[in-house]
Amino acid sequence: MATTRTRKTAPKTADASPTGDAATKPATAPEPAAIPDAAPLEPPLVEEAPEPPAPDPYVTPTEVIPDDQHLAEVILDDATGQPPADLDKVFVPLTPLGSALSCTIRLVEQTYLGPHRTPVVRLLQPKGAVVSENIATRILRRLEEQAGSTVTNA
């Protein structure tokens, strides 16, 4: 006896419409989680702040030398508040055979700005700044002129 197999297919309209309980319940938002009556006993986890970056080992001049129209009246050693005593020791060679010089003291300028000539002190060279011979010569020339004018004024 030979048997034949037949397939049963579901009606195509059954796929489009849901049947059972899902068809009768409207779609709603999920229920919110229960809110606890008290706060947890442990404090919240706080991450540690990252380490600050390492300081830059190189000191660079922030203001090399202003042009002739904006030169300051007085150049001072920031540590003493007086003009440098020994001009030969203000700049020392960085290497024995190199042309770069290192500033041994922090040099600031005392000047007056604006229409009301407001007194300000601004940084000329930080301590340890590496400068060229040209810049060092210009600063030393100004210091020598300043020293000469204070001797003649005294």
pLDDT tens by residue, the chain, 154 residues: 566 666 666 655 544 555 555 555 555 666 666 666 776 677 777 788 888 887 766 655 544 455 555 556 788 888 888 889 888 899 999 888 888 899 999 999 888 777 887 888 888 899 999 998 988 999 999 899 888 876 555 5
| Whole-angstrom distance, CA of residue 128 vs CA of residue 140 | 16
Query: Considering Cα of 96, then 97, then 99, then 100, what sign does the dihedral take?
Result: negative
Paired with 101 in beta bridges are: 93, 131
Look up residue 105 and give its two tokens. 């003291």
Closest CA relative to residue 129, chosen from 109, 107, 103: 103
pTM of the entire structure?
A: 0.50
